[in-house]
Amino acid sequence: MLIKPDAIERNLIGRIISRVEETPLKILDMKKVFFSREMTEQFYGEHKEEEFYNRLINYMADKNVVALKLEGLDAIKILRRLVGATDPKKAEKNTIRADFGLGTPQNSVHASDSEKSAKREIDFFFGEKN
């Protein structure tokens, strides 16, 4: 999970982490990272052909993010339900994006959508090279 720049700028890190801690998920590791343009393009590379890619890169690049490494039974399912739909206007009430998101891509958090993505994203932020 990533806490995005809009949430960091509005001092929401603690409130978002509290929401995670209210679930059965366990936070194994956490760190604040300066997300360089190169890192941002690499992280979101799978979306390069999408219409939202440039807007997302411009929003995320050269800013701080907070990366969380989470663990738990059905972690992806629990986390996706906690964060809500990508568009905060369409997110269910009482989800992180509904409560804190400003729009897209300023929806306050990023959450892995599959086990494959989760493994890649955890390695990206918490692997041996980091």
Query: Token digits for 74?
Result: 């059905």
Of 4, 19, 97, 110, which one is the catalytic site residue? 110
Is 110 tagged catalytic?
yes
**Residue 35 CB-density burial (10 A; 0-12 exposed, 13-18 middle, 19+ buried):** buried
Query: Token digits for 73?
Result: 């039974």
Positions of E strands within the chain: 2-3, 26-35, 63-71, 109-110
Location of structure tokens 């194994």: 28
Active site residues: 110
